[in-house]
A = this chain, B = another copy of it.
Amino acid sequence: MTVLFPPPPVDKAALEGAGAFTPRFDGAGLVTAVVTDIRDGELLMVAHMNAEALRLTLETGIAHYYSRSRAKLWKKGETSGNLQTVHEIRTDCDQDTVWLKVSVSGHDAACHTGRRSCFYRKVKVTEGQPLLEIGDDQRHFDPTMVYSSKSTE
C-alpha cells in the first residue's frame, strides 16, 4: 500500500495537532531529517528527504534520503552496508523536520569518513578564531576501500 502525504493544512492548530501527517516540503521539495542512534541518542547525521524518500522509509522501515549533491534518491548504506533500520519517526511542531531513531547495520557508522557520527568535531573559539577540534577519530571502516571515487554513499 502506497503511503501518500496530504497537503499541509492552512490552519496552524491543525498543523500542530494530532491527525494527518502533512510534511511541509520546502521549495526544493525537501524536509530535514535528524538521525539519532536508538541505543544512546547520539546524533549521527542530518540529511534531507523528498516525498519519495519519506514514503519509502515509512513503507520499508529502512532509511532513505535524497542526496542534494547527487540529485537523487539515496538508500543510506546501499554501498557501505551501513543500512539504517528505523525504530521511530517523529516530526516537529511545523512539520518541516523529521527525527529518525535508528539502529545502524554493518560497520556501525553513519559518516562517509568512517566515523560513527558526522558530528565528530567540536567548535572552539581561540583568540577570536573559530576552530575545529576532532573529538572522535575512530574509523569504523576505510572509506577508500568502501566507496568508489564517484560515490560517497
Contact = CB atoms under 8 A, between A and B. Distances in A.
Interface of A: 1-5, 16-21, 32, 34, 36, 40-43, 45-46, 58-59, 88-94, 97-99, 111-113, 118-123, 125, 127-135
26 contacts: A2-B128, A3-B125, A3-B128, A3-B130, A4-B128, A17-B132, A18-B131, A18-B134, A20-B131, A21-B131, A21-B132, A32-B32, A32-B46, A34-B43, A36-B43, A43-B99, A46-B97, A58-B123, A58-B125, A58-B130, A90-B122, A90-B123, A90-B135, A92-B111, A92-B118, A93-B112
Nearest to A98: B123
Given A46-B97, A92-B119, 16 more contacts: A3-B125, A3-B128, A4-B128, A18-B121, A18-B131, A20-B132, A32-B32, A34-B34, A41-B42, A45-B92, A46-B92, A88-B122, A91-B119, A93-B113, A93-B118, A94-B118
Contacts of A32: 32, 46
Contacts of A88: 122
How many copies of this protein are present in the complex? 2
Contacts of A21: 123, 130-132
A70 B110 CA distance: 34
